[in-house]
């Protein structure tokens, strides 16, 4: 757990508000700001624990930070940091980036992170959350004091006035299982920092802004269809290289194309099968899709270690009420929290980074109508005709027959009404 506290009016903080912590640092002549860091009772890997770092006594940072492509960032900062004999911690790279680029430094960061940064010269506090929202970060104001932390419980114990609940959050949870608004939490007075956002706290108050958006570029067209696969593998290999840890890397592997492609590209990138471990979550009774069989075929072909975890009895914990596990907000995952924690712990002990293929199936799904409408608006008649022909051919006779039967059935039902 880490936290940052800041007083807008440069008044001294009441250190009793900070609670017990492994590390506490006060800032400013009046003690108007503070960092709090506690790893007590944490079973997380070293990469998952927080720490307070400083750069020249001018800038300070606390948080959970794992950067992608740290060598590339270090090369950009070569003029400032020279050629250090060993790798610089990711937290210090963030401080060097801030020292060079100021508020723009977040545009040069990628990875999984949530942190608070204190600028002693400007007497301001900056809190940042990563682009995809892997890490959590919350903030709240009570009178003239701001609280920022990755722990909702920690803020609720200090900043919430009466811990009033947010009716909108609760309504969303009861109907959809989660909030449809990034910023809301179960507490009305505590906000969640949205992914790819940064908040700056200073004498002029709070400034919140987005620093990144996923750019949707125009579709790429190659004359040779084989080039699409080559380009995909090239980009995937770059992404893997950016995220590889120093030691072993894990693959959450099913028997499908996504995760097995990740495993093959990881092997090509590392050139060392001994660095790669894989695990397949297999259902013997719930689903008969033979994940273990196909994952084992791929693992043997690649020469990597694969373990099979049978999941049938792990999807629900019948003793969840007596586990004593509580979450900061209501969540359906509490029914399975005990088992998930055990699995996460096993993974953390085995490898610092795990790759999984969840997501590409959805990301690569053809948005037929959007794509065809885009071609129509551009008056790309040749490509439109080619896309329609290819779609009709790929769908095949069986697919079209199913479509006609579905529409015929809808027409009969409409006539009966």
108-122, 194-208, 354-368, 390-404: range with lowest mean pLDDT? 354-368
Q: Is 81 helix (H, G, I), strand (E, B) or coil?
A: helix
pTM to 2 decimal places:
0.82
What does the alpha-carbon distance between residue 99 and residue 101 come to, in Å, rounded to a whole number?
A: 6
Asked if 353 and 279 touch (Cβ cutoff 8 Å), the reply is: no
Q: Quickly count: other Cβ atoms within 10 Å of residue 128's Cβ.
A: 26
* Residue with token string 């009861």: 174
User: How far apart are alpha carbons 221 and 224 in whole angstroms?
Assistant: 9
pLDDT on residue 44: 47
Tell whether the model's pLDDT for residue 225 goes beyond 70: yes
Amino acid 413: pLDDT: 54
pLDDT for the residue numbered 49: 57
Retrieve residue 85's tokens.
């004999």
pLDDT digits (tens, 9 = 90+) for 100-156: 999 999 999 999 999 999 999 999 999 999 999 999 999 999 989 999 999 999 999
397 contact partners, CB below 8 Å, separation of at least 6 = none
Which whole number is the average pLDDT over 219-229? 86
Mean pLDDT, the chain, as a whole number?
Answer: 88
Report which of residues 410 and 12 the model is more confident about. 12
Q: What pLDDT is attached to residue 257?
A: 86
| Mean pLDDT to the nearest integer, 388-414 | 78
Residues 6+ apart with CB under 8 A from 93: 67, 70, 73, 74, 77
Q: What is the C-alpha to C-alpha distance for residues 269 and 264, in angstroms, rounded to an integer?
A: 9
Residue 218 — pLDDT band, cuts 50, 70, 90? confident
pLDDT above 90 for 319: yes
pLDDT at 28 over 80: no
Predicted confidence (pLDDT) per residue in 156-206, tens digit: 988 766 689 999 999 999 999 888 898 999 999 999 999 999 999 998 899
Residues 6+ apart with CB under 8 A from 177: 332
Q: Who's near 247: CB < 8 A, 6+ residues apart?
A: 275, 351, 352
User: Does position 388 have pLDDT exceeding 60, yes or no?
Assistant: yes
Of the two residues 106 and 365, the one the predictor is more confident about is 106
How many other β-carbons are positioned within 10 Å of the β-carbon of residue 319?
7
Six token digits for residue 43? 């079973």
Provide the pLDDT confidence category of residue 358 given band limits of 50, 70 and 90: confident
What tens digit of pLDDT does each residue of 49-87 get? 568 999 999 999 999 999 998 888 998 998 777 777 577
The pLDDT of residue 43 is 43
What is the per-residue pLDDT for 162? 64
User: 296 pLDDT exceeds 90?
Assistant: yes
In sign, the C-alpha dihedral spanning 55, 59, 63, 64 is negative
Whole-Å CA distances, 414 to 401, 407, 409:
20, 11, 9
pLDDT on residue 137: 97
Distances (CA, A) of 316 to 173, 251, 319, 336, 371: 20, 24, 9, 5, 41
**Rounded distance between C-alpha atoms, residue 79 and residue 168, angstroms:** 50
Paired tokens of 360: 């590409």
Q: Are 237 and 268 in contact (CB under 8 A)?
A: yes
Q: What are phi and psi of 296, to 5 degrees?
A: -65, -40
Q: Would you say 70 and 90 are in contact if contact means Cβ atoms under 8 Å apart?
A: yes
Residue 411 predicted with pLDDT over 60: no
Q: What is the pLDDT of residue 408?
A: 76
pLDDT at 88: 86
The pLDDT score that the predictor gives to residue 200 is 96
Residue 416, pLDDT score: 55
115 contacts: CB under 8 Å, gap ≥ 6: 2, 61, 62, 63, 64, 65, 91, 94, 127, 128
Backbone angles phi, psi at 363, to 5 degrees: -65, -35
Q: Are 95 and 55 in contact (CB under 8 A)?
A: yes
Range of weakest confidence among 8-22, 43-57, 269-283, 331-345: 43-57
- Residues, the chain, total? 417
């Amino acid at each position: 757990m880490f936290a940052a506290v800041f007083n807008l009016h440069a008044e001294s903080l009441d250190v009793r508000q900070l609670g017990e912590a492994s590390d506490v640092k006060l800032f400013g002549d009046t003690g108007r700001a503070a960092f709090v860091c506690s790893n007590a009772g944490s079973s997380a890997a070293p990469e998952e624990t927080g720490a307070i770092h400083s750069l020249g006594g001018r800038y300070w940072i606390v948080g959970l930070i794992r950067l992608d492509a740290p060598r590339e960032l270090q090369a950009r900062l070569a003029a400032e940091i020279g050629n250090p004999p060993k790798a610089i911690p990711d937290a210090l790279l963030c401080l060097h980036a801030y020292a060079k680029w100021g508020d723009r430094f977040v545009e040069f960061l990628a990875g999984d992170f949530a942190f608070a940064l204190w600028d002693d010269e400007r007497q301001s506090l900056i809190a940042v959350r990563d682009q995809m929202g892997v890490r959590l970060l919350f903030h709240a104001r009570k009178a003239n004091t701001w609280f920022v932390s990755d722990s909702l419980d920690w803020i609720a114990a200090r900043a919430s006035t009466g811990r009033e609940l947010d009716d909108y959050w609760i309504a969303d949870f009861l109907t959809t299982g989660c909030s449809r608004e990034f910023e809301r939490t179960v507490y009305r007075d505590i906000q969640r920092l949205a992914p790819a956002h940064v908040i700056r706290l200073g004498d002029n108050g709070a400034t919140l802004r987005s620093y990144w958006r996923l750019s949707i570029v125009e579709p790429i067209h190659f004359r040779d269809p084989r080039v699409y696969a080559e380009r995909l593998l090239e980009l995937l290999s770059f992404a893997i290289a950016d995220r590889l840890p120093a030691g072993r890397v894990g693959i959450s592997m099913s028997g499908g194309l996504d995760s097995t492609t990740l495993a093959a590209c990881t092997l090509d990138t590392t050139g060392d099968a001994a660095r790669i471990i894989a695990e397949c979550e297999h259902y013997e009774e719930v689903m008969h899709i033979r994940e273990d069989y196909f994952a084992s075929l791929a693992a043997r072909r690649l020469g990597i270690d694969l373990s099979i975890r049978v999941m049938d009895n792990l999807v629900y914990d019948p003793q969840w009420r007596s586990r004593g596990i509580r979450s900061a907000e209501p969540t359906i995952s509490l029914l399975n929290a005990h088992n998930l924690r055990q699995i996460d712990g096993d993974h953390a002990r085995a490898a610092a980074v795990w790759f999984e293929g969840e997501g590409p199936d959805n990301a690569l799904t053809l948005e037929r109508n959007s794509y065809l409408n885009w071609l129509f608006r551009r008056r790309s008649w040749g490509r439109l005709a080619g896309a329609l022909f290819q779609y009709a051919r790929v769908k095949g006779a069986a697919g079209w027959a199913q479509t006609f039967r579905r529409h015929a059935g809808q027409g009969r039902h409409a006539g009966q009404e």
